[in-house]
Structure 1
Amino acid sequence: MEKYFFSKNYKETKSAGNKAKTDIEEILLTNGYKNVGIRSNYKGSLMGFIATLLSLLKACLSIQPNSVLVLQYPLKKYYTFLCRIAHLRNCEVITIIHDLGSFRRKRLTIEQEVSRLNQSDYIIAHNDAMKVWLQEHGVTSKLYSLGIFDYLSKSTPQPNTNKDQYRVLYAGALSPKKNPFLKQIGAIIKSYKFYLYGSGFEAQKNYNNIVNYKGFVPSDKLISTAEGDFGLVWDGDSISSCSGELGEYLKFNNPHKTSLYIRCHLPIIIWSKAALAPFIKENKIGFCIDSLDQIDNLLLELRKEDYDEIRKNVIKISDKLSDGYYTTTALNKILNQKENYK
């Protein structure tokens, strides 16, 4: 049985979404999957469109009967086409979900998205919460959970030598629309320092050096230079809860920044209702909180030996992320079950 995946043109490979996709492509290659598309990095719309069309043509000519094809979703209008081509060749499609257009960006209705996804034979959702959501909304494909996104990088995190107060790091897109809570957080910080990495943030004078804005740092460099003792996973417009559409999406989504923090060897502080909260608890790699104003007491009461133990657990998970463990495990589970049903 041949194993394939489809690559296309990526205008920007440093963004979180495309980094996750290109990492998975590297993991697939390592596991013996062949690229039936063409990966390219044209930034212009016309060249990018032509490159993707050439990828589609190559896929049509390359996919052999009775094979497996891995698609990364969303893939816009090409997704349905590739599913149909695969099924005409008696191939099965495995879909790895990165984002749900009907949930966050509202580019599709739920019915439209479910109709698309049901063309796949197997679906790897972010986590069990997303898996349940898909089932409840009519997805009939066989569903599996990824657990957490792998994160490939050759960079090595620096040893933790902090002997002063704890430092909490937050990385990502820092626009007021995405993270309004950042305007409020300076007022509640007392016992720790807060480090911001990303673009779009305007430092406010009343932070009194509690919030340290470091600007945009490429992920590989951040892994080797991150100033922090914890990575914060929080979205929305409030410090008391992850509210709003972005906050609501945390109940089903695996934010890629979580994997980045772990690769930086940073224990996680995450909203207790986030879909990744059970993963953080089970692996003992951080803390789950209801409100950001709980962080002060949490860190004041944290003993150094307990922090060191949590960080050891984080390093174990980081090693798995760097090896593509979670993607490989989910795919092998599907392939093994296919073999057992023959």
Structure 2
Amino acid sequence: MNKRYLSKNYKGLGSAGNKAKTDIEAILKEIGYRNVGLKQSSHDNKIIGFLVTLLGVLKTPFSLRKGDILVLQYPLKKYYELVCNIAHMKGCKVVTIIHDLGSFRRGRLTIEQEIERLNHSDYIIAHNEAMAQWLQQHKTTAQIGCLQIFDYLSKDKAQFKETAPTPYSVVYAGALSSKKNAFLYELGNYMHSYRFNLYGGGFDASSAKNEELFTYKGFIPSDELITSACGHFGLVWDGDSTSTCSGTYGEYLQYNNPHKTSLYIRCLLPVIIWKKAALAPFIKENNIGICIDSLENLDEVLSSVSQEEYETMKKNIVTISDRLSTGYYLTHAVDEAYQYFKK
């Protein structure tokens, strides 16, 4: 069985979504998968980008052979079902790595439409067990495996600092506008013994409660952030509320793997995450952070973290960070798929 994947044009390589996809292509190439499309490109022009991806799709039937395994990254917009059908016509098996479920966050598809699309695949790599169970409950016919967490490639390495002076400071990276994350603007009501360092765009300090407790660092490219992030913990939280992760983005945390979690780990920052998030079991089992119900008691939770507990988390996170930097989790997930077809 030959191992294949399909590359495409990625507009805006600096975005977190495309970083995850291009990392996956790099890892697949490293472990022996060959591209059946055109060479990966990053044209910002929509028309050129569209044509490059289309030509890569049209090249696919000439590059596949019977018995091949083809890895696709989902969503692939209008081409996904077409490429699956081409692969099956050529006698190949399709492995789909899910990045985003459109029926959840954007609502562009109904659940039924999304499952119908995904059922064109023979094997699906879901983010985690929660997403795998959701797919099974909605009658996905493909075999399902789990990624666990997204790898994060970068030649840059964070400097290991075992100890941290208290009070601790917390890093939050991502979209900082009130439209995306209204919770940030209420957080000052509950902050007393810790501070927040914010990385990203769109923060309106004048609208935040107790704005002096926030230090706005602006947007910093991820590689640079790995070596320069200032703080002791990284926060994974989304939505409108400080008491729970709510709204479209917040509720999606129960099923998806936010890429920023992997970024924090590469920064060697223990993770603070919502207790009901799909990644919370991973954080707990590896002892690389704290799972919380509400941000409203974060002050109390952080105050109770001893120096010894923090140092243990830091040592554990080095191991996970090294794995993310080498493509450990994707390699394991696609190997499980390969072994499934070999049987």
Shorter-chain TM-score bucket reads over 0.9
Separation in 2, partners of 1:167, 1:102: 36
Deviation at 1:163, TM superposition (A): 2.5
Mapping for residues 315-334 of structure 1, pairs under 5 Å = 315-334=318-337
What amino acid maps onto 1:192 in structure 2? Y
Q: Give runs of aligned pairs for residues 162-311 of structure 1, distance below 5 A.
A: 162-204=164-206, 206-311=209-314
Give the secondary structure class of the aligned counterpart of 1:214. Answer: strand
Letter matched to residue 132 of structure 2 = K
Report the residue type matching 1:99 in the other structure.
D
Using the TM superposition, give the Cα deviation of residue 303 of structure 1 relative to its aligned residue in structure 2, in angstroms: 1.2
Equivalent in the alignment of 2:3: 3
Residue 86 of structure 1: aligned partner: 87
The CA deviation string for residues 34-66 of structure 1, in whole angstroms up to 9 with x for no partner, is: 011221111011111111112112222111111
Residue 138 (structure 1) shift: 1.5
Tell me the equivalent position of 1:63: 64
Q: For 1:130 and 1:301, how far apart are their aligned partners in 2?
A: 32
Aligned-residue offset at 1:236? 0.6
Q: Write the letter of the residue equivalent to 2:191.
A: I
Task: For residue 189 of structure 2, give the secondary structure of its aligned residue in structure 1.
Answer: coil
Structure 1 stretch displaced more, 92-101 or 51-60: 51-60
SS of the residue corresponding to residue 273 of structure 2 reads strand
Are residues 167 and 63 of structure 1, via their aligned partners in 2, closer, same or farther at CA, if it must alter by over 3 Å? same
Q: Return the letter of the residue paired with 1:165.
A: P
Percentage identity across paired residues of the two chains? 59
SS at match of 2:299: helix
Partner of 1:44: 45
How big is each residue's C-alpha offset from its partner over 1:75-96, in whole Å with a ceiling of 9 and x where there is no partner? Answer: 0110001000100110000000
SS at match of 1:106: coil
Aligned to 2:33: 33
Letter in 2 for 1:118: N
SS of corresponding position for 1:181: helix
Partner of 1:111: 112
Q: How many residue pairs are counted as aligned between the two chains? A: 340
Q: What is the SS of the residue equivalent to 2:54?
A: helix
Using the size of structure 1 for normalisation, the TM-score is 0.97
Q: CA RMSD in A?
A: 1.1
1:101 maps to 102
Q: Which amino acid aligns with 1:148?
A: I
User: Judging changes above 3 Å, is the alpha-carbon distance between structure 1 residues 83 and 206 closer, same or farther for their aligned structure 2 residues?
Assistant: closer
- C-alpha distance in 1 between matches for 2:296 and 2:160: 28
Letter in 2 for 1:300: S
Q: 2 CA distance for matches of 1:294 and 1:251?
A: 20
The normalised TM-score by structure 2 is: 0.97
Distance 1:78 1:208, change over 3 A: closer
Shift in Å, 1:188: 1.1
State how far apart, in whole Å, the 1-side matches of 2:94 and 2:72 are: 7
In structure 1, distance between residues paired with 2:304 and 2:105: 37
The equivalent of 1:159 in structure 2 is: 160
In the alignment, structure 1 residue 123 sits paired with structure 2 residue 124: yes
CA distance in 2, matches of 1:332, 1:143: 13
Amino acid at match of 2:34: K
Runs of 4+ residues over 3 Å off in structure 1 = none
Tell me which amino acid in the other structure corresponds to 1:5: Y
**Partner residue, 1:14:** 14
Could you tell me which runs of 5 or more consecutive residues in structure 1 were left unpaired when the two chains were aligned: none
- SS of the aligned residue for 2:235 comes to strand
Output the CA distance in 2 between the equivalents of 1:164 and 1:122. Answer: 47
- Contact 2:61/2:90 (8 A) holds in 1: no
Cα drift, residue 164 of structure 1: 4.4
**Could you tell me how far 1:337 is from its partner in structure 2?**
2.4
Distance 1:172 1:322 in 2: 21
What are the Cα deviations for residues 242-286 of structure 1, in whole angstroms up to 9, with x where unaligned? 011111100001000000000000001000000001111111111
Residue 9 (structure 1) shift: 0.6
Is the contact made by 2:187 and 2:209 (CA closer than 8 Å) also made in structure 1?
no
Distance 1:206 1:71 in 2: 44
Residue type at the aligned position of 1:241: T
1:303-337 deviation line (CA, Å, top 9, x unaligned): 11110111111111000100101000011111122
